[in-house]
Structure 1
Amino acid sequence: MVSKRQSGQRHEGRGKVPIQEQKQASISGLRNVINALWMSDKSSYLENFLRRVVREVVEQKIQDQAHLFSRERVGEAGISGAKHLKLCFINKLPETIFTRSSIITKDESFLQIALFDVRTESVVNDGPLSSLKIEICVLDGEFGSHGCEDWTEDEFNSNILREREGKEPLLIGERFITLKGGVGCITKIAFSDNSRWQRSRRFRIGVKAVQPTSNGEKIQEGRSEPFVVKDNRGESYKKHYPPYLKLNDDIWRLKKIAKEGKIHKQLSLHGIHNVKDLLRFYITNEPSLYETFGNIPKKSWLVITEHAKACEIDDYQLYSYHSEELQVGLLFNSIYILVGVTFDWQNYYLPDTLNPREKVCIHKS
């Protein structure tokens, strides 16, 4: 009676963009796009699309950093002879990093740096400096905490941290990288020790040029924002928050649900193992889900459900339901929220754009 078809590709959701811009405009191409991506074996299309998107994002981040740094430094360069070349971090690190885990950024990508020229307001993407060798180090979390960007080489080096006595080096992995086109990616590196022993209880990552320039011009070192490093034994129990909270995360990644605790075990008995399971149950039968939690305070219930609802819908699966009798077709996302409606199998509409008569028809289906 009900036909369900999974469209497990990552591109079809873009058909919803024009609907949001024009509330009553139809999205006649949506079904065709979904079907084409589902039936086609031309994965190269999606691969090329994703590569282009990633490239555009990186280029935009570089430009953002360039303009920001230019505003801060261009006046200083003309007055005090400040350095014209600067190593900049393109993306940002999370507020907490765990030891023995690869260092990744807030958006779960590798940390990237670029060599920036204040005078041209651009990345140095050609010439000898575009393939500069860079050293990665650990800095005191308080270094540059007052917003000062104009430090000397000696000041930078004096804030480089070494391992504690009897410990292995603070950074383990590849501590040297070579820029390509003026941009470098820090991929195989991790912390061996936590940051509790520092007065600020925080670290920064620093980067500096290994070899001098041919004309003797100095290159300003770069530093990240401060962050806390914790021992990795706490990572297996930590909660996840957007944008790191994912649909397939275990249910105990949500606040107020302890791993192997009473609520965790109770939900598992009812087939609720991850965030997606909980959201599906919440959307389809909220009162029943509340009963499943057992004797739980209303405040805790709200904390759990609000945390779950903040999860990004990141798998882009769609389910379809067709009622031949009423000539209605419905599209649901992966947690069973209605996202599209059709009455002629050609034109799809957002649910909140329907008139009262159409909404009654949907409820009947």
Structure 2
Amino acid sequence: MVPEDNPTNFDPILSPRKGMPSPRLDEGEFKARYLKQFEDPGFEPLQAQLADIANAAWDAYKHSRKSPHTQKAGPGYSDPDYDVSVDWIAAKQAIDDAKARHDDKALAPRILLINGSARSEHTCPGEESKSYRMVEIAKASIEEKGGVYVDILSLDRLASEYGRHIHPCKACFSTSPALCHWPCSCYPNHSLGQVQDWMNDIYPLWIAAHGIMIITPVNWYSPTSPLKLMMDRLVCADGGNPDPTSTQGKDAAVAKKMEMEGWDYPRHLEGRLFSVVVHGDTEGVENTRRGLVDWLRSMDLESAGARAEIDRYIGYWKNYAEGHADFDKDEGMQGEVENAALTLREAVLAKREGRMIAAGSQLQQPREK
């Protein structure tokens, strides 16, 4: 039976479903896991201090202090007196600032180039990725023509840079879009040690951009794991709730009720242009390229054109050790990457000047996502 204070108005269909086993750790297991990060011999003289720190971390975990520092939401929110994480407030301000840059016609339009490969010369593979080389080709071709500002997001830093993380999406949207906050409020979660999440820096890059170009290899018939992590965490940019006070934080029952009363699915990335370049060495490029294009279109981004969407093989079924040499020889592929970047640049400038209109963009959609 649904509790009488359940805001779903006693509808058992909307009552949040429960039944999964608890992931909670006991004190011994928690501290053992927590102290694993201090295995280096340099920490051995600090065992007493580390024990005190582990005790403090256990207390935060035991009492689930996800957001230890909060402030009142203030004007502009449905519940101005609700305590909101200062981390979320800062993330929201960064997004608002990025949107102001995006909308300022006095500033040059921006193109975001994304390297989707995890490979880097600065970690185990010992060699740069071909995706990064393509990003450099795209950047040089755009900057040679001028007229736009280029940002680079290189996702290899997830694997090569200390403290760099994109934590997994918790799928709040699948409970209700109103529960999926924009920007994501799931992280940081200090009690679980889920901190240093990169997405609060990545969201403003997407918002400020007028054009986005994703360059990625295929990993097992799919986008790379860094790219997929970012994709999943961008769900809040397409239909997410910009007011976490409206759901009293993460109250699933309140969010479900809001959705059933009518949700407007705000498209926070709507109208931006995109280009996709997918490369591989054996199989999977076409499906990966199609999946990325479909994903971007589903968020109401617009393709810059046929020449901005590429899937190609480099060194097809040849030795991996020769991959870069094969790319050196493939001047056609290099030229296609350059053309994709220039197509995106041309589309961005045309749209800024009102010379590019997406047919059907003003039609009312009969269904939302």
TM-score band (shorter)? under 0.3
Task: Give the TM-score taking structure 2 as reference length.
Answer: 0.25
Structure with the larger helix share: 2
Q: Which has the larger radius of gyration?
A: 1
Structure with the larger strand share: 1
